[in-house]
Structure 1
Amino acid sequence: MARAWHLKSRPQGTPTADNFALEPLDLPRLDDGMVRVANRWLSVDPYMRGRMNDVKSYVPPFAIDAPMEGGAVGEVVESKADGFQPGDWVLHMAGWRDEAVLPAAALNKLPDLGVEPQAFLGNLGLTGGTAYFGLLDAASAKEGDIVFVSAAAGAVGSAVVQIAKAKGMTVIGAARGPEKCDFVCSLGADAAIDYSEGPIVKSLAAAAPDGIDVYFDNVGGDHLDAALALARRDARFALCGMIDSYNSGQPASLRYIMRIIGMRIRLQGFIYTDYVPRLGEFYRDMGGWIAGGQVTARDTVVDGLEAMPEAFLGLFSGANTGKMLVKL
């Protein structure tokens, strides 16, 4: 029988295993226009923490005692829908479970780009698309810019580093610990800041004595404040996630916020789904960079549906380098 993770209670602060329960899942009948999919790869992403709160946002909150959702890649095992047949690989949002029956409209057949299927949850998926559109559109980054990236060893941040280098930019990435900083440098970053060693603003000032033109924010907090302190005139900030506040729910205190006015800094919030109509452009460019070796991936893989909450909670303790995935 199919199984799915349910949200049993809304977390107060950092989630714990007690907030989740793995339960049997009754699948709907396979009617005309429906497809049954066996999931092979599941994604966990920081934005899911916000959906665990009962607040209005750009996506509805998870319901209590109901299956959770998230990005997944699976294989069609049975189909009553035109255009889908057993053996097809598809991308969809019925994650946190091992099997799903979905209408054909909820599935995207994976294009043949010569990559492993799980890449469509990483550099060719939401994380890579977030990096691509955030850097090049929301932040209007261009050749010659000095770019600062927070959480540069994570899924989105590591993609930002590589896209920026492919576009001829100078890149400074922040990560925790020497191993992750070495990873950031291996991606081509010109410098890596270990934020656990002391105030980020001092480290960033040393790495970027002339300041920064672009900041890609995954963290918020003192990373955002340091970027404000070192921003040059007309700097552009792309804001896609502030994981530093996801569990506390408290906004950061920004000492250098007044520099937004004097330096004419542009702060642009954005969401990946804003750019769905432009995914063809993204697949073209990212597919080319992957094929040419300019963009690579390092995934952190956890095995088994039972380990899904463990993988999710690992996002908040730095357990992942690159994309965190669950393999079924």
Structure 2
Amino acid sequence: MDALRKVYHSAVQIPLDNVERLWQELEAFEVNLNRITAKKFMANLSPAHMQARTVLRHHALYPLSSNVIFLPPLPRFDASERTLVGKWKAYLKWEESNPLEIEEKEKAMLFTRIQGVYRKAVIRMRYYSEIWFMAYTWTNSVGNYRLTFAYAEALALKKDFAEVHTLYDKFLETLRGQLEALEQSSAAANTSLSNGSGTINGNTAAAALPASTSSAITEAGMYSNNTSFSSQASEEKPPKSTEVQERRIEYGLAYIMYIRFARRAEALMEHHCSDDKSVTSRIFETGLNTFGDEIEFVIRYLGS
């Protein structure tokens, strides 16, 4: 009963074509079980259900959700096609606006929904660059490191360790490239500002130092402060320097997650494949100095 109730509760909050009938079935289902709790459940679900019905009505205004399978025709560049492209663009923007009002804690669900919409759009409208550009822009704007970490944890649970290493290598390579490009542009901007300003408030602006592209990150996750940009004589910190600093922190966090996974995986492999438990203990003890506040790491250490 609980599993069926969970499915019903989820379905009545989605703008399905038969969402109203599902609501009636859920109400009958709950009443048959318990009239008192039925009123409570229905009252709690009512706002989300009404929102789903509203979204369904708005969705009907966009005649783009046909499930008919067809090959996209070559463009003719006439008025009717431009109108169709405009409708698709309006529909995609509407989906991006989160009409279902999905909460922040369920953002992954929102991303999955919008990703599916864009996948359908580039299939149906494959010859129109505007649709592809919108798909690229949205995909490039929703980067979320937590999703990458969650995916890595899921792969680790499946014991697909090779794929986890590949994932982190690609992730760190991408972050490293972004960090290096940002450091270079920041150094150029600071140098240009220093040369152009001459003196500020009577003081000579300090020349910007070139940014090092190989910031050392310790295993404890503390990025090195060897790389620095000289600030102007004013008290304000250059915006580019702040952005670089934030990006270094993000890179450091990703590196920490990778090192934590690698140490834990290495220690567990030694624990299960080698009779020499001292090797496992030394690996865990080294990791404990860094990840002593990680509950899962400590539990694995105590169980080794």
Give TM-score scaled by structure 1 length: 0.22
1 or 2, which has the higher helix percentage? 2
Radius of gyration: which is bigger?
A: 2
Give TM-score scaled by structure 2 length: 0.23
